[in-house]
Amino acid sequence: MSVRIRILRFDPSQDERPWWGAYEADVEPTERVLDALHYVKWYRDSSLALRRSCAHGICGSDAMIINGVNLLACKVMIRDLEQPIVIEPIRGLPVIRDLVVDMEPFFAGYKEVKPWLIVDEDEKEPPRERIQSQEDRERYDDTTKCILCAACTTSCPIYWADGKYVGPAAIVNAHRFIFDSRDRGGRERLEILSGKGGAFKCRTAFNCTDACPRGIKVTLAIQEVKRAALYDSV
């Protein structure tokens, strides 16, 4: 099956502005967009730059805009898309080359919310594992699914417009620890997320929830963080 693909190309070392490359790829309907991109790179134009790793929807490295929607290229089947398949880099992050973007601003927001377990100083080496009930675990189960692909954050118009906003993915990962019964850093994170670049920047557009390839209820998580900050409920 021959598939028509248009890819937004840009190499800052030689291009003044982005340009559209048109290609054809011989792939099966049940193959993924990532397979079509591999075909273009291997048989049509080896200069095409893209980022991928596991190719199974786990690493999150191949997030891109496919036919106008933030998706993982390794999860979308060719048969489910209209042609030509139009592929662009995710928005809101600097383009390094073609479909590869600079993820550092994204990870800076992620690190800002301290996405690790914070415990009391005298509990760093407990005599046994930190026990947690199934009910306590279920409280934040949804937000443990994040793979840091940036699809949610780069679908957010507030993130595009405000470089200080930590973004949906950072808030999701803060949520995962704020509501963890073993954690002691919830109030510290809520103070961070109550600042100018925090959760209250969200305008509830639901773009982030629609974009998440793992089905996380991102907007709900953000609202729960807002409520916790307002009512000091952790």
pLDDT per residue as tens digits for the range 4-44 = 999 999 999 999 999 999 999 999 999 999 999 999 999 99
- Domain end, chosen from 85, 101, 117, is at 101
SS3 39: helix
Domain count, the chain: 2
Q: Is the pLDDT of residue 121 over 90?
A: no
pLDDT value at residue 49? 98
Q: Are residues 90 and 143 in the same domain?
A: no
Q: Are residues 110 and 187 in the same domain?
A: yes
pLDDT value at residue 129? 84
The span from the CA of 139 to the CA of 182, in Å, is: 12
Q: Are residues 65 and 145 in the same domain?
A: no
Peptide bond into 84 cis (omega under 30): yes
Percent of the chain whose pLDDT exceeds 90: 92
- Domain end, chosen from 74, 101, 128, is at 101
Q: How confident is the model at residue 102 (pLDDT cuts 50, 70, 90)?
A: very high
Q: Is the pLDDT of residue 127 over 90?
A: no
pLDDT value at residue 124? 64
Q: How confident is the model at residue 171 (pLDDT cuts 50, 70, 90)?
A: very high
pLDDT value at residue 94? 96
Q: What is the CATH classification number for the domain harbouring 55? A: 3.10.20.30
The mean pLDDT of the chain is 95
Q: How confident is the model at residue 233 (pLDDT cuts 50, 70, 90)?
A: low
pLDDT value at residue 1? 87
Q: Are residues 14 and 116 in the same domain?
A: no
Q: Are residues 126 and 224 in the same domain?
A: yes
pLDDT value at residue 123? 65
One-letter amino acid for residue 227 of the chain: R
The span from the CA of 234 to the CA of 225, in Å, is: 10
Contacts for 64 with CB less than 8 Å, ≥ 6 apart: 50, 70, 71, 73, 87, 88, 89, 90, 99
Instruction: State which residues form the domain around 181.
Output: 104-231
pLDDT value at residue 18? 97
One-letter amino acid for residue 161 of the chain: A
pLDDT per residue as tens digits for the range 174-229 = 999 999 999 999 999 999 999 999 999 999 999 999 999 999 999 999 999 999 99
Q: Are residues 112 and 219 in the same domain?
A: yes
Q: What is the CATH classification number for the domain harbouring 224? A: 1.10.1060.10
The span from the CA of 111 to the CA of 146, in Å, is: 14
Q: Are residues 80 and 130 in the same domain?
A: no
Q: How confident is the model at residue 234 (pLDDT cuts 50, 70, 90)?
A: low
Q: Are residues 65 and 34 in the same domain?
A: yes
Contacts for 212 with CB less than 8 Å, ≥ 6 apart: 151, 152, 218
Q: Are residues 115 and 91 in the same domain?
A: no
pLDDT per residue as tens digits for the range 36-72 = 999 999 999 999 999 999 999 999 999 999 999 999 9
Q: Are residues 179 and 117 in the same domain?
A: yes
Q: Are residues 42 and 124 in the same domain?
A: no
Q: Are residues 96 and 197 in the same domain?
A: no
- Domain end, chosen from 75, 101, 127, is at 101
pLDDT value at residue 207? 97
